[in-house]
Amino acid sequence: MSTLNLNLPIRKGNFALNVDLSIPLQGVTAVFGASGTGKTSLLRAIAGLDRHVGGLVNFADQMWQDHHNFTAVHKRGVGYVFQEDNLFTHLSVEENIQYGTSRASNTKAAVDHIITLLQLQNLLTRRPSQLSGGERQKVAIARALAILPKLLLMDEPLAALDQTFKQDFLPQLKALISELGIPLLYVSHAADEVAQLADNLVLLDKSGAAKCGNIIEMLTNPELTLAHRQEAESLLTATVNSYDAHYHLLSLQLCGQTISVSGKPLAPGTSVRVRILAQDVSITLAAQHDTSILNIFPVTIEQIFPYSAAQDTILLNLAGSQLLARITRKSKDLLGLKTDQKVFAQIKSVALSQ
């Protein structure tokens, strides 16, 4: 698999970020971290908008930057979507999308296909002032893709848009990237966006460090800050078994177990992601029966580590997959919980994404 290799000492005033990463050039890689950790600075360095002395950027064995060379932005073949759509107000949607394609080795058929995938056919003659916020961002994405980039960079493109639009558009975006086969680096501080989109994760923290890995593994790793957040979560893959139209519940096959999740009908065999917040998982020593909780599974405690003075986080093994639970220290002590103990996880709430 091709990779994007980075060795970047990013310095801006008192800010410092040291990046030494190898990022897979396949699917979606989210760049995640709190405000001020350098997410935008990293994207700008990759695009060639900023040059940092002593940096190295190697894209699939093409050296974009080293101690002697620096490839200009327009020669890197990168598409960039900013938080603001930055559309040309005096141009139509079609003219905005076509802008810059003269230097790209694309075809009209390819651009028309992108327009169709983003469902922009009926907007081509409009000006940006005649579009909604979501429509403008879709046009900005189409413009970035119209040059058929080697790499697509997106810097919090949905941050200013409402949750309803995000819920509808994120599956479209993931399907679009998969069909076009263009690797995407997606900057966000929204955990739900990252969980829905990302295959891999670049994690930046306030210490100036950067780490990269599979998102499912990184979310539950006690050595990383993600498992210590208030909104710590687990991300698991599941397959649709069936749909109960009476109760509007999906039956999913998850780690050898059957889990019930509210949601819209999906075809059997459909692969989905299950997002479970640690605060929505409780622990019992025996399987409960007289309870409103539908999803109760046997698990093994792998590790217990502190979250606060009052709470601990527990890393659980669910048939080979990892699940986080957050409970009070008092509950842990009353139950006598310890490493390697077999217990039951009660999952109170589950978020589903495709």
Q: Residue 201 and residue 197: Cα distance in Å, rounded?
A: 10
Tell me the pLDDT tens digit for each residue of 39-76. Answer: 999 999 999 999 999 999 999 999 999 999 999 999 99
Cβ 170 vs Cβ 186: under 8 Å? no
Residue 104 pLDDT > 70: no
Residue 94 pLDDT > 90: yes
Tell me the pLDDT tens digit for each residue of 30-39. Answer: 999 888 899 9
DSSP 8-state symbol, 35:
T
Q: Residue 272 and residue 226: Cα distance in Å, rounded?
A: 22
Bridge partner list, 325 = 314
Q: What domains does the chain contain, in order, with CATH numbers? A: 3-228 (3.40.50.300), 233-353 (2.40.50.100)
- Which is it for strands 200-204 and 210-214: parallel, antiparallel or unpaired? antiparallel
